[in-house]
Structure 1
Amino acid sequence: MEFVVLYDVREGTERARLLEVYPRHKAYYEAFRAAGGGLIALGPFQTPDPAGGSMGIFASREDAERFIAQDPFVTEGLADPRILEWNAVRFE
């Protein structure tokens, strides 16, 4: 079982503000991953709207909660995250 964090960009957030915060977000997720934080994958949705949101996949709820607690997109008020339990079907 894995956990998905869906990020909805807060209404009224300007694209320029997202781009300003992105370098801190990137540094954060790279450090989190390097420290073995249970981050499996993450990225934005490819939509015409630059505020289309994003998601991350984590190995545990605790990893997901720990990640969003310090993510600059969340701490700086740009995104509202929600955690969903994901029962992925694997095809090998």
Structure 2
Amino acid sequence: MYAVSFYDPDPDTTPERFQRIVEAYPRHKAYLDAFAAETGDVLMIGTFGDPGTQGSMAVFRSREAAERFRDSDPFFTEGLVYRSRILDWDPIVFAES
């Protein structure tokens, strides 16, 4: 079973908070790159149209991998994630590449 992780943005975000997210992004990206290379557990990750209002999501090989990633992600550890949700996902169909 796969897992989908959602980071929901703070609906009352301020310019200062957004600036903290911008400043934390290089640490988040470095962590993501290392985690993905070491584990192979990140299948896809990205933001929705406007991440400031719509947030982001990632698909992991397992709930355990999603929790491990989130729990050490600088966005999460630095208090920049308003709400995090992880849902188990059982895909039925994969597209042919």
TM-score under structure 1 length normalisation: 0.87
Larger Rg: 2
Shift of residue 17 of structure 1?
Answer: 1.6
Distance 2:47 2:27 in 1: 16
Q: Which moved more, 1:3-12 or 1:20-29?
A: 3-12
TM-score, length-scaled by structure 2: 0.83
Aligned length: 91
Q: Can you give the 5+ residue segments of structure 1 that lack an aligned partner in the other structure? A: none
**How much is the aligned-residue C-alpha RMSD, in angstroms?**
1.6
Q: Of 17, 21, 25, which residue of structure 2 is paired with 1:18?
A: 21
Greater than 4 Å deviation, 4+ residue runs: none
Q: Hey, what does 1:90 align to over in structure 2?
A: 94
Q: Which has the higher helix share?
A: 2
Unaligned runs of 5+ in 2: none
Tell me the amino acid that sits aligned with residue 21 of structure 2.
L
Cα deviation digits, residues 30-53 of structure 1 (max 9, x gap): 000010251111011113x62421
Identity among equivalent pairs (%) = 48
Aligned residue for 2:34? 31
Query: Counterpart amino acid of 1:91?
Result: A
